[in-house]
Amino acid sequence: MLSELLLTDIARLSQLGRLPLHRQLYESLRRAILDGRVGAGERLPSSRELSQDLALSRNTVMAALSQLTVEGYLVSRMGSGTFVADQVPQRVTTMVLPAQGWAGSSLSVRGERLAGSASAADLEVQPFSSGTADFSAFPVALWQRLQNKHWRMVYPEMLDYSDSGGYAPLRRALADYLRVSRSVPLQAEQVIITSGTQQSLALCAHLLADHGDTVWLEDPAYWGATKVFMAAGLHAHPVAVDHEGIAPAAADELTPPRLVYVTPSHQYPTGAVMSLARRHQVLALARQHQAWVLEDDYDSEFRFSGPPISSLTGLDRDERVLYMGSFSKVLYPGLKLGHLVVPPGLVASFRQAHYDLNRPGQLPLQAALAEFIDMGHFASALRRARQSYAERRRCLLAALQPCLGPDARITGAEQGLHLCLRLAADVDDGALAAQLARVGLTVRPLSAYCLRRQDARGLVIGYGYTPLADIERCGPLLARTLVTALAQAHSASRKR
Ligand SMILES: Cc1ncc(COP(=O)(O)O)c(C=O)c1O
C-alpha cells in the first residue's frame, strides 16, 4: 500500500526534474507524512522490502530513510523497525504584511538614542578587552570538512528558509546538552535557533511586551541587551546589582516590570552569581507581576572554581522564564547562531513570529553544527577552551595581585572570560581606562555600563581574547600602571 503510493509519487517527481533517486524517495515519503497519507506512529516496511517493491537499491532507500530520521520525520527503534514520528516537523505558512518605508533621511528619536549610547563597536580588540573569546583556537579545518560534507549532501529544501524552530537534529542536540549541563528541563520542540542573543532578546521584546512597557535591567547592564529593548520602545528601569546579583527593592516595585532581563550565572559585567534567595525572589516577583524573566546564560560554559551553578530556568515552576544561549563565545561570534528556549505554551507563537519577522535560514550551517555537537567536537572544543582560559585567568589574577587592597578587589573571576576590578566610588574609572589605553591596554570602565547608579566604579578586564603570552607580557604593565594611578587618585582624594 505504502509502496504503491510512493511509486506513483516518485514517477511524478522523476518527470518534474532531475532529482537523484534517494531525493525522490525522500521527498515522496516526506510529503506523504506531512499531508497525513502515512499516519503518526505508523510502521514502515523494512528497507529491504521497500527496495524490492520500489526497484531501488538498498543504499538509495537507506539514504532517504536516514535523512528523514535525522530531520525528525521518522524514528527507528532497535529491533522493531522504523516508524513515523509521533510529532513531525511542521512548515509554517507565511503572512503578508503591508510594506512600510522610511519617511525621511534623518534619524528618528529612537535612532538618535541608539546611535548615541555606549557601544562596543568603537573599542578595538586589544589585550584585556572584554566580551570576546579566542576564536583563533576554533578548529577551522575540521569545520571546513563538515561544511563541505553537508554542502555535498545539500538538496533544494536545505536552501530554503529554515523550519521556524531551526534544524531538528540541532535542536535535539542542544536540548540534550542543556538538560544535562544547565539543568534546563526541556523538550527539543521548545528550542528555537536564532542568529544569537540579540535576536533572541528582540523576539522576546516584540512578543512579550508592548511599546512603553517596563523592562527591568541589571544596573550595571549589558549594552547589547539595553539597545535591543531601546529599539523595541520599552521603558528601561535599572535595578541595582550587588554581590548576590540583581537586588530588587520595594521602590523598584513601584515601576512593575513586564520583562526582567538577568544574567544569573555571571552577571555582566560585575560577575556576581545570583544567590538562591534572589533567584526565588525574582521568580516570585515575576509571578506576582505576571512578568517574563529573560535569562541570558552567555558564558556559563566556562566555570573555573566554586560549585557548578544551575540555570534559573531550572527553578521555574510557572513557565515564566525564557532561556537564551549563544555560540559566540564557545565557537566564534561571526557564526551568528544562538538558541532560545521558550516555555511550552509560547512555542507556537514564537516559531510563527520568528518565521514572519526574521525568515531564519542557513540549514546547511545548522546541519554542520549539529554534527559537530553529536560527534563530540563541541565537547572537545569546550574542554580545550576551558583549559586555555583557565591558564590565562590564573596568569591575570597573579599579575593583578600588587593592585589589590581594601579599595581594589576582584569580583566575578570564578567564571567567564572577564573579571571585574572593583574600585572605590570616588575613583574616576573612565580616566583610568583612558590612561591604560595610552599604553596600549583596553579595559573598560565599569561606570560606562551603569544606567543610573553612581557608586559602581571599577575596570572590566577581559582575558578571553588575550593570548597567554600577551597576559604574561602586558599583565605587569597593567598592574604597574594601575598601582601608580590608584596611589595618585588616593592621595588626590585625601587632599580634597
Ligand atoms: C551578556 C552577553 N550576552 C550575550 C552575548 C552574546 O551575544 P550574541 O549571541 O548576540 O553574540 C554576549 C557577548 O558578548 C554578552 O556579553
Q: What is the tens place of the pLDDT at every residue in 286-307?
A: 999 999 999 999 999 999 988 8
Indicate the length of the chain as a whole number: 496
Confidence class of residue 89 from pLDDT cuts 50, 70 and 90? low
Q: Which of the pair, 473 or 136, is modelled with greater confidence?
A: 473
- Rounded to a whole number of angstroms, the CA Rg of the chain reads 26
298 lines ligand 1 (CB under 6 A): yes
Q: Nearest C-alpha to atom 13 of ligand 1 is from which residue?
A: 131
Alpha helices in 182-242 (DSSP H): 197-208, 223-231
Counting ligand 1 atoms within 8 A of each CB, the residue from 129, 323, 328, 336 with the most, and so the one to mutate, is 328
The rounded percent of the chain whose pLDDT value lies above 70 is: 92
Atom of ligand 1 lying closest to residue 263 CA: 1
CA of 36 to the centre of ligand 1 (A): 41
In this structure, of 53-67, 237-251, 387-401, the range with the lowest mean pLDDT score is: 53-67
Q: Taking all residues of the chain, what is their mean pLDDT, rounded to a whole number?
A: 88
As given in the structure block, the three cell numbers for residue 479 are 598592574
Residue 24 near ligand 1, beta carbon < 6 Å: no
Residues 6+ away with beta carbon under 8 Å from 202: 228, 231, 232
Does the beta carbon of 300 sit less than 6 angstroms from any atom of ligand 1? no
Q: Model confidence at 123, in pLDDT bands (50, 70, 90)?
A: low
Look at residue 424 in the predicted model and tell me its pLDDT.
Answer: 93
Is the shortest distance between the CB of 336 and ligand 1 below 6 Å? no
What pLDDT score was predicted for residue 100? 37
Dump strand ranges (E) for 81-188: 81-84
Q: Tell me, what's the pLDDT at 400?
A: 96
Q: Is the CB of 442 under 6 A from ligand 1?
A: no
Average pLDDT over every residue of 187-212: 97
Which range, 48-57, 156-165, 282-291, 476-485, is most confident? Answer: 282-291
pLDDT at 18: 54
Residue 164 binned pLDDT confidence (cut-offs 50, 70, 90)? confident
* Binding site membership of 325 for ligand 1 (Cβ less than 6 Å): no
Check whether 201 has a pLDDT greater than 50: yes
Whether ligand 1 lies within 6 angstroms of the CB of 464 is answered as no
How much distance in Å is there from the Cα of 265 to the middle of ligand 1? 14
Angstrom distance (rounded) from CA 323 to CA 321: 6
Are 450 and 219 in contact, with CB atoms under 8 Å apart?
Answer: yes
Q: How far apart are CA 257 and CA 215, in angstroms?
A: 5
Q: How high is the pLDDT of residue 75?
A: 82
| Cis peptide upstream of residue 169 (ω within 30 degrees of 0) | no
CA–centroid distance, 197 to ligand 1, in Å, is 6
For residue 97, count CB atoms less than 10 angstroms from its CB and return exposed for 0-12, middle for 13-18, buried for 19 or more. Answer: exposed
Q: Looking at ligand 1, which atom is closest to the CA of residue 196? A: 9
| Percent of the chain whose predicted confidence (pLDDT) is above 90 | 64
**pLDDT of 49 strictly over 70:** yes
Residue 98's pLDDT is 31
Who contacts 406 (Cβ-Cβ below 8 Å, separation ≥6)? Answer: none
Residues 6+ apart with CB under 8 A from 434: none
Cβ atoms of residues 468 and 388 within 8 Å: yes
- By alpha-carbon position, which residue is closest to atom 6 of ligand 1? 197
Residue having the nearest C-alpha atom to atom 7 of ligand 1: 197
Report phi then psi at 283, rounded to 5.
-65, -40
CA of 363 to the centre of ligand 1 (A): 22
